[in-house]
Structure 1
Amino acid sequence: MKFIKIIKNKILAASCNLSCVRKLFPKNLPPIRPPRLLSGMSGAAAYNLQPSAKGFTLIETLVAISILMVAVASPLTIAQKGLASAIYAKDQIIASYLAQDAIEYIINASDKNVADGKGWLLGISDNCGTACAVNTRIDSGIASCAGTCDALNYNESTNIYSHDSTGGDNKASPFTRTVKATEGPTDEALITVTMSWKDKGADRSLNFYTRIFNWR
């Protein structure tokens, strides 16, 4: 009897439409959709049997990669520029202190000349009329530069910049200090200190000015 019932169900299924099939076999039966005809075509080859799920196109992938690259590169660029600005600011501070060091040395040398009853610009105007180097580590440390002044050297132990010869803890620094004295009206002179250095291949320079007077 069971076998006859199965045969009977199969015969009924063959003669029914889709609604009959769902009534006879309601369990575990996936939805049945009729195949879709392609526009302008007919016959068995005209059915679109491709899956309906969509994936990423090449353009969408390239756009996503571009957005990711911009998101990663932007913070790195900002960090790099910030680091370069910090290094330049540090060099500016060092240059300003080195210029102030030379100016104070020139002022002290002029005051000493006046106190000793000598010409107030003795050793200054004759050496620094065009350009001179000032070594603040020693007395009479003003020397005329023949053309271009030498770069300052840096002592890694004492953290002092000077024109002392290199060797030991003295290493060449990127800073060059050039001093010029220009006599103005009576008992007055303009002192110009130019600090120059290299910053990643770029030439940097700062000028500092002060006026000294013959107070005698």
Structure 2
Amino acid sequence: MKINAKKRKVSPSFTLLETLIALTILSFAITGPMELASRAIQSVGVSQNQIVSSYLAQEAIEFVKNVRDTNFIQGKNWLAGLDQCLAVNGCYVDIPTYFSSGLPSAISSCGSQCPAIKYDDTSGFYYNYNIGDDTAFTRKINITKINVNGVQDEARIRVEILWKEKNRDRSFVLKEDIFNW
């Protein structure tokens, strides 16, 4: 007696389930690196602004130290000309004006809020307060005299850079103590 069993023909094609699984794996393989690249591009912008803000803060610290050194050489009070920075509201400094017109016209009180720093790539002075387009950055300098045993031969410089990035307020603060030589 012979039993006729039908042989099932094996097809080399994929089933619907196998196709869906393959498409899911493929979509994860594509979207994962795309999302990673997108976040990397976003963080580059944040990093760029943090670097700019740190340079702006360091520039202000170096400016105050330069004024202190110049005052020493000229035999003046070591913080002469920085009175507006000693005030509670702080000050802002226009570095190009300092080099062209001198100290008194370069330092201004912030009042309730410091103005935006301007960007002008044609003048050679990239960050100033007179020429160019407003940037997102503001810079405030505060100087606090420190009393040690009744002598005020030390001062703390605090520079705060503020900017808005993607509707979020950002800030960078740099502090340094200087001394009367």
Distance 2:61 2:6 in 1: 94
Distance 1:159 1:214 in 2: 30
- 2:30 match: 72
1:177 corresponds, among 139, 145, 170, to: 139
After superposition, the C-alpha distances for 1:55-107 in whole angstroms (9 at most, x for unaligned) are: 523x4443333222211111111112222233322222222221121111111
Distance 1:174 1:76 in 2: 29
Amino acid at match of 2:174: F
Distance 2:162 2:39 in 1: 22
Structure 2 unaligned spans of 5+: none
Distance 1:106 1:35 in 2: 95
Structure 1 unaligned spans of 5+: 1-17, 19-32, 37-49
Distance 1:78 1:177 in 2: 33
Moved more, 98-107 or 59-68: 59-68
Evaluate the alpha carbon distance shift between residue 102 and residue 51 of structure 1 in structure 2; reply closer, same or farther with a 3 A threshold: same
Q: In the TM superposition, what is the alpha-carbon distance from 1:153 to its structure 2 partner?
A: 0.5
Evaluate the alpha carbon distance shift between residue 213 and residue 52 of structure 1 in structure 2; reply closer, same or farther with a 3 A threshold: closer
Report the secondary structure of 1:89's partner residue.
Answer: helix
Evaluate the alpha carbon distance shift between residue 206 and residue 71 of structure 1 in structure 2; reply closer, same or farther with a 3 A threshold: same
Distance 1:128 1:89 in 2: 31
Which of the two has greater strand per residue? Answer: 2
Is 2:152 the counterpart of 1:194?
A: no
Indicate if the aligned counterparts of 1:154 and 1:162 stay in contact, CA closer than 8 A: yes
Aligned residues: 168
Is 2:114 the counterpart of 1:149?
A: yes
1:97 corresponds, among 55, 66, 70, to: 55
Distance 1:164 1:128 in 2: 23
Distance 2:91 2:169 in 1: 20
Flag the structure with more relative contact order, 1 or 2, with Cα contacts below 8 A and sequence separation at least 6. Answer: 2
Evaluate the alpha carbon distance shift between residue 35 and residue 76 of structure 1 in structure 2; reply closer, same or farther with a 3 A threshold: closer
- 2:128 match: 162
- 2:169 match: 203
Indicate if the aligned counterparts of 1:125 and 1:183 stay in contact, CA closer than 8 A: no
Amino acid at match of 1:172: D
Report the secondary structure of 1:187's partner residue.
Answer: strand
Distance 1:86 1:126 in 2: 36
Q: Quote the RMSD (CA, aligned, Å).
A: 2.8
Moved more, 201-210 or 176-185: 201-210
- 2:78 match: 120
Find the structure with the greater CA-based Rg.
1
Q: In the TM superposition, what is the alpha-carbon distance from 1:149 to its structure 2 partner?
A: 0.8
